[in-house]
Structure 1
């Protein structure tokens, strides 16, 4: 069965926030950082509803780098 285009490796669904947008709203993060602090930072950096929704879906744990946050964000999208 063919994979849905939005789930293919090089395509994202139009409603999914871009990786660059997630990186932008996490600028200034001091890792390791827990989910709640990431949410607070993202909100203060002007994250839109899509980004906040993705971050809210992430596992509640400490993240040791921006890459760890991005991996988790892409997993939950």
Structure 2
């Protein structure tokens, strides 16, 4: 069965934030960092509602790098 275009790796839904947006709002993160601290950092770095919604949907765990956050964020988008 074919994957929905919005869920393939090469396509994203127009309302989903780009990885660059997520990386921008996580600038200054001191890894490892838990989800709640990531949310506070993103908020203080000016994250918009779409980015905050994606971060809120991520599993509550410690992330050891920006790449780990991005991998989790793309799963929940």
**TM range, smaller chain:** over 0.9
Aligned residues: 77
Give the superposed CA RMSD: 0.9
The reply on whether 1:60 has 2:55 as its aligned counterpart is: no
Show the 5 A alignment for 1:11-26: 11-26=11-26
> Which residue of the partner structure matches residue 73 of structure 1?
73
How far apart, CA to CA, are the structure 1 residues paired with 2:42 and 2:7?
25
- What displacement does 1:19 show? 0.2
**For the residues of structure 1 that align with 2:62 and 2:29, how far apart are their CA atoms?**
12
Quick one: distance in 2 between partners of 1:60 and 1:24? 21
Give the Cα separation in 2 of the matches to 1:56 and 1:15.
Answer: 16
Structure-1-length-normalised TM-score: 0.95
Quote the offset at 1:2 in angstroms.
Answer: 3.3
TM-score calculated relative to the size of structure 2: 0.95
Deviating runs (4+, > 4 A) in structure 1? Answer: none
